[in-house]
Amino acid sequence: MQFNKLGKWNKYILTQKFFWGNSVSSMQTEGGWNEDGKSPSVYDIVEATERTSDWHFANDNYHHFDEDLDLIKALGMTMYRFQISWSRVVENGDGDFNEAGFGYYDQLIEGLLQRGIEPMICLYHFDMPLHLAETYNGFINKHVKDAFIRFGKEVINRFSDKVKYWLTFNEQNIFHTSESFRISGYLHGEKTLEELYQISHNVMVCHAEIANYLHDTTDAMIGGMLAYKEVYPATCRPEDVQAAREVDEFINVTLLDCFSKGHYSQQEIFFVQRHGIDRKILTGEMEAIARQKSDYLAFSYYASSTINSKRIPEGTAPNIYMDIAQEENPYIPETEWGWQIDPLGFRDALNKIYQRYRIPVFPIENGIGVQEEWDGVHMIEDDSRIDYHKNHIRAMFDAMYIDGVECLGYLGWGLIDILSSKGDMRKRYGVIYVNRDNHDLKDMRRIPKKSFYWLEEVIRTNGQSIYPEN
């Protein structure tokens, strides 16, 4: 790492191995919702609304994956993080293994390797098998925990000889928030704080058991992943500062402590004890958590938030502070969807994770959702997307080459247009346009945007092209 007198990088930046890539989930990408023996997931029964699509077709990667992989290769990408759909490969989530489903992923992995692209597998991205949700209420039930561990071990058995980078849960710290009841297959109940802690604990045990199995039986690597909550105090009032710190502790730190130290954070342990919360911990579960380790700490980052302690009623659990006390930050811009654009927050997140735990960090989701339409002729001029990625990549390089953060790569989110997390095709993250909207599948044609050619140059130069002054 070398600097000129102005503190800018010279031409030798990123001489180490560094992954450039794309991340997706199964339900937002694949389609093929009822083909080749796939069982239904909770997403498959969601109906379209005026402003959202159903989840049956997504961008039809199930039938277009060769074309999509060619586009990823054309960008120069060296990693593709995708999800194995539990419902596609295990009948009803706890039944027989579906060979046709596994066959699809085998072809996908082979296609990646043939193109020189490193695959990364994620095992769960919120699409609980419908049978497990309706019968057992999702991850609050130990049967579902056991079924997931069985599923994860089978995927490892089949693919760990070819896939060396693994994740268990997408954005696992969301299970520590009120959103847990939406993403865990929980369909009925009172949504109590105790239930939230039971779900998050079962999920942590799943991660630990699978991480331990992978390390015991393969030479592959695995890391925990979270949606990093970069939260500032709304003012310099000490109460706002404390509230922001508590969000960090209960949403970020306690999970990172598990991933790296093998136990929940001390403050969360005390909170659970003081409030008499029963996580329903079984014999051996804490030992499994204590034994697991992370080869890297992965995270998503899109935006930062602020918190106003005056809006938090006394006695509120920190897990739900952001539901009631989040405020707009007047010092940074926001997207048309209200997400505040904060590259410096990205640098801060990289530092907070790495400097505290000294485990390589891996930002594997970053991007901006923009409403776009293609006129059928002209290139989409998505300069706002270029600016977003440019500024976040620069912030990442600042963290690496000024602050000393060990970073394994940079993966964008949904860089071939996919459904948003709410099922809205209007919110597009891609550098490649997919020609469909919420209610008309059109021809599903893939069309590169201006940002495609910009990103291709960034990857070709290993980041140098965003510093034309060098």
pLDDT in tens, 181-229: 999 999 999 999 999 999 999 999 999 999 999 999 999 999 999 999 9
Contact 405, 360 (CB under 8 A): no
Look at residue 218 in the predicted model and tell me its pLDDT.
98
Q: How confident is the model at residue 470 (pLDDT cuts 50, 70, 90)?
A: low
19-465 CATH pick, 2.40.50.320, 3.20.20.80, 3.40.50.720, 1.10.3720.10: 3.20.20.80
Share of the chain above pLDDT 90, in %: 96
Distance from the first to the final alpha carbon of the chain: 14
Mean pLDDT of 157-172: 98
Ramachandran angles phi, psi of 335, nearest 5°: -80, 175
Q: What was the pLDDT predicted at 164?
A: 98
Quick one: 410 exposed, middle or buried, by C-beta within 10 A (0-12, 13-18, 19+)? Answer: buried
- DSSP letter string, 358-383: -S-EEEEE----EE----SSSPP--H
- Looking at residue 11, its pLDDT comes to 40
Q: Is the pLDDT of residue 178 over 50?
A: yes
Query: What radius of gyration do the chain's Cα atoms show?
Result: 21
Catalytic site residue from 171, 195, 230, 268: 171
171 catalytic residue (yes or no): yes
Of the two residues 4 and 302, the one the predictor is more confident about is 302
Q: Which of 249, 205, 203 is nearest to 229 (CA)?
A: 249
pLDDT of residue 3: 40
Tokens of residue 54, six digits: 């159903």
The residue count of the chain comes to: 470
* Average pLDDT of every residue of the chain: 95
Task: Provide the pairing of β-strand 427-428 with 296-300.
Answer: unpaired
pLDDT of amino acid 227:
98
Q: Which residues pair with 362 in a beta bridge?
A: 298
pLDDT surpassing 70 at residue 343: yes
Q: How confident is the model at residue 459 (pLDDT cuts 50, 70, 90)?
A: very high
Percent of the chain with pLDDT over 70: 96
Residue 14: pLDDT band (50, 70, 90) is low
Q: What token pair was written down for 417?
A: 């247009």
Tell me the pLDDT tens digit for each residue of 52-62.
999 999 999 99
The DSSP H or E segment spanning 413 is strand 409-413
Q: What is the pLDDT of residue 206?
A: 98
Residue 17, class by beta-carbon neighbours within 10 Å (0-12 exposed, 13-18 middle, 19+ buried)?
A: exposed
Q: Residue 162, SS3?
A: coil
Residue 13: predicted pLDDT: 53
pTM: 0.96
- Cα 15 from Cα 281, distance rounded (Å): 46
* pLDDT score for 17: 85
What's the distance, CA 169 to chain centroid? 8
Instruction: For residues 279 and 244, give the distance between their C-alpha atoms in angstroms, rounded to a whole number.
Output: 25
Q: Per mean pLDDT, which range of 137-146, 171-180, 228-237, 459-468 is the poorest?
A: 459-468
Among 230, 285, 365, 372, the active-site one is 365
* DSSP labels, 222-250: EEEEEE---EEESSS-HHHHHHHHHHIII
pLDDT band at 468; cut points 50, 70, 90:
confident
Whole-angstrom distance, CA of residue 441 vs CA of residue 435: 7
Q: How far is the CA of 231 from the CAs of 18, 240, 268, 300, 429, in angstroms?
A: 28, 10, 18, 14, 23
- Other beta carbons within 10 Å of 262: 16
Candidates 4, 20, 15; CA nearest to 470 is: 4
Q: Please say if the pLDDT value at position 379 is more than 70.
A: yes
Q: What is the mean pLDDT of residues 23-31?
A: 98
Helix 99-114 to helix 61-74 angle, to the nearest 10 degrees?
Answer: 10
**Can you tell me the distance from the alpha carbon of 301 to that of 237, in angstroms, rounded to the nearest whole number?**
26
Q: Is the pLDDT of residue 418 over 60?
A: yes
Q: Is the pLDDT reported for residue 368 higher than 50?
A: yes
User: Residue 2: its pLDDT value, please?
Assistant: 40
pLDDT band at 111 (very low <50, low <70, confident <90, very high): very high
Residue 289 falls in which region: left (phi positive, over 0), alpha (psi -120 to 50) or beta? alpha
Specify whether the CB–CB gap between 210 and 234 falls below 8 A.
no
pLDDT at 46: 97
Dihedral (Cα; 221, 106, 92, 145), 10-degree rounding: -10
User: In this structure, are residues 256 and 224 in contact, taking their beta carbons and an 8 Å threshold?
Assistant: yes
Domain ranges across the chain = 19-465
Of the ranges 6-10, 130-134, 425-429, which one carries the lowest mean pLDDT score? 6-10
